[in-house]
Structure 1
Amino acid sequence: MDRSRLQEHKLFRIKQDLTVMVNRYEVTREGGDGGDADVVAYAEQNWRSFKEQVTFFTDRTKSQVLFTFKARSVLDVAGTYDVLDEAGKPIGTFNKKFAASLLRSTWGVTQEDGAPPLTGRERSVFVALLRRVWSAVPFVEVLPFAWPYHFDFSSDGGERAMRVDKNFGVRDSYVLDIESPALDRRLAIAQAVALDALQER
């Protein structure tokens, strides 16, 4: 799906597929007719990559790059990631705010077009604390399900631009609801996938 058509949609579902070497994400638009036509992005993350990079393709054939996000520097303590279009031009950035994440995980998003920056926080302090307790349980990583989380991304004025809801289940699944018409869908999808790919790092 090209950028203009992608920008028309506001509700997406992201499903994760884990393999030995690669972490895969399939993004579909909600409300479609089903089948391959509903796939809007297909992403892969190589587990061996030291400098984090996730490439998003237009579909499962991986014949056309849609966009990528990658770490600005492996030495960047703030963990800044650049989101680039298929030609390598910047779309925006996101980074995890470590000091603010002690209680609730917090991310910052900037858009290349000069739109106001966004801050994303876990919606519930209670769920955030439960998730931290859960992750501290020995051998929990071998269990076939993960704890859910919910993020709201808003401007400094409090206007919500998007939300991400992770479902509880044996396979990671997320709903991305974009409320801002101007927010670049590629940047929003990149941040939503990063919540899974980079959340525990």
Structure 2
Amino acid sequence: MSTALQTRPRSDLAAGRFGQSRYMIRRKFFKLFGGAFHIYDAAGNVAFYSKMKAFKLKEDLRIYSGEDMQEELLTIQARSILDLGATYDVTDATTGERVGALRRKALRSILRDQWLVLDVDGQEVGRIEEDSMLLALVRRLLTNLIPQTFSGTVGDVPVLTFRQHFNPFIQKIDLDFSVDTQRRLDRRLGIAAAVLLCAIEGRQSGG
């Protein structure tokens, strides 16, 4: 599909950040306004820093190359205001290219969290789901001390896992793309999905 949008290439350093197979996401619970996440690569280096803007009617997250926020890499913006089943558009901030979108299945997520992965044309190409109905119900009805685990697929082929570690003060999540050997999922969309899961699902469980 042709486009008149003028783009500029992403820096080689930023492009390399999206080439990792494993990441660890860390969020401190006690942040009063907005939300912030550090995303580390397998070597323990900060690969991304994400900041959610506070006091926005429509949720707006930005992903940067570092905590100094000098290089913005991705934007994640809700299409609607305060909608539990909102669709979030993911855009490459360095090129203006729309990467895809993520849609939360609101009614289904009451019992078991589920997100749809949409391509640039808005077509469903994959899903990200909580590990099991049983564990999901236990978390909701009895305790939120059981860490969440999500699995992502594209065309029914596994592409990622997302595992939370229980910690009462710091939210830590392992993000693993190593099962996606054919690179079916755009890593930019995968990173955006992980940040959304931390921000939305983590907030619901009291994080």
Q: TM-score, normalised by structure 2?
A: 0.80
Corresponding residue number in structure 1 for 2:4:
none
Corresponding position: 1:63 with 2:63: no
What's the CA shift for 1:7?
Answer: 3.3
Question: Structure 2 vs 1, CA of residues 79 and 161 (structure 1 numbering), >3 Å: closer, same or farther?
Answer: same
- Match runs of 1:38-49 below 5 Å: 38-49=45-56
Q: Matched residues in 2 for 1:176 and 1:54: separation?
A: 18
8 A Cα contact 1:6 1:185, kept in partner: no
Q: What secondary structure does 1:198 align onto?
A: helix
Spell out the pairing of 1:104-183 with structure 2 (5 A cutoff).
104-112=112-120, 117-134=125-142, 147-156=146-155, 158-170=156-168, 171-178=170-177, 179-180=179-180, 181-183=183-185
Counterpart among 166, 189, 192 of residue 190 in structure 1: 192
> Kindly tell me: are residues 75 and 25 of structure 1, through their superposed partners in 2, closer, same or farther at Cα, counting changes over 3 Å?
closer
In 2, distance between residues paired with 1:114 and 1:182? 17
Q: Which runs of 5+ in 2 are unaligned?
A: 1-11
Identity %: 27
SS class of match (1:16): strand
What corresponds to 1:84 in structure 2?
Answer: 91
Give, in whole Å, the separation in 2 of the partners of 1:2 and 1:66: 11
Deviation of residue 2 (structure 1)? 3.7
Q: For residue 96 of structure 2, what is the amino acid of its counterpart? A: G
Gaps (5+ residues) in structure 1?
141-145
Question: Which residue of 94, 102, 110 corresponds with 1:94?
Answer: 102
In the other structure, the counterpart of 1:15 is 26
Q: After superposition, what is the alpha-carbon deviation per residue over 1:67-106, rounded to whole angstroms, capped at 9, x for unaligned? A: 1101012275630000011143211100111232233111
Equivalent residue letter for 1:50: L
Cα distance, 1:187 vs. partner? 1.1
TM-score, normalized by length of structure 1?
A: 0.82
